[in-house]
């Protein structure tokens, strides 16, 4: 196994462990399932929300069949990310894919264990919420995707020929 692959898999494992550890703290010792909300700052709180859908509540699983269909769909996407990580040679892309893979694995495990994904991070400015309630896995996936998109856009711009102003 190459050092680059090892890096991606270690990042994925670290994100998975961190995500599950924080979710355990929220639902275990802090008992967020019962408490519901813990205010930390005027703009940030822990607020338990069971997420039965995927990104931003899209494709809400209203039945056991839909739940397992979402598990299969997200596992297929995760497998695709793993294959991409395995084939990728760029360390930045591999690190970003590790973030996505670790986050996906954490959310898949939640859906298998509970039937929903445990969301609890709530950033808000009064009634304005720039994000829905999310978790560590969601943040890792988002950061990983943003890195991949940013690198793809930068690579595309670097490969485009300069416009000839004298033409």
Distance CA 67, CA 58 (A): 13
pTM for the structure as a whole:
0.87
Contact in structure between 117 and 110 (CB atoms under 8 Å): yes
Listed in sequence order, the DSSP H helices in the chain are 3-27, 32-35, 64-87, 91-114, 136-159
Tokens of 61: 């699983």
Are the C-beta atoms of residues 19 and 135 closer than 8 Å to each other? yes
* Tens of pLDDT, residues 99-113: 999 999 999 999 999
Catalytic residue among 19, 93, 119, 122: 119
Kindly state the tokens that stand for 154.
Answer: 């930068």
For the question of residue 122 being annotated catalytic, the response is no
pLDDT score recorded for residue 48: 95
Query: pLDDT tens, 37-80?
Result: 999 999 999 999 999 877 655 667 678 888 898 899 999 999 99
Give the whole-angstrom CA distance, residue 154 versus residue 29.
Answer: 44
Q: Is 31 a catalytic residue?
A: no
């Amino acid at each position: 196994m190459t050092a680059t692959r090892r890096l991606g898999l270690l990042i994925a494992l670290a994100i998975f462990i961190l995500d599950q550890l924080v979710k355990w703290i929220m639902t275990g010792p802090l008992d967020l399932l019962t408490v519901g909300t813990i205010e930390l700052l005027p703009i940030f709180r822990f607020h338990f929300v069971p997420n039965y859908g995927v990104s931003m509540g899209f494709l809400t699983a209203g039945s056991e069949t839909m739940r397992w269909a979402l598990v299969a769909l997200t596992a297929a996407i995760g497998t695709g990310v793993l294959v991409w990580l395995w084939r990728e040679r760029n360390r930045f892309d591999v690190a970003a894919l590790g973030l996505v893979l670790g986050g996906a694995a954490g959310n898949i495990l939640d859906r298998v264990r509970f039937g929903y994904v445990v969301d609890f991070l709530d950033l808000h400015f009064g009634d304005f919420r720039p994000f829905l309630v999310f978790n560590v896995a969601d943040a890792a996936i988002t950061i990983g995707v943003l890195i991949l998109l940013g690198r793809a856009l930068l690579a595309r711009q670097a490969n485009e020929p300069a416009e000839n102003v004298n033409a």
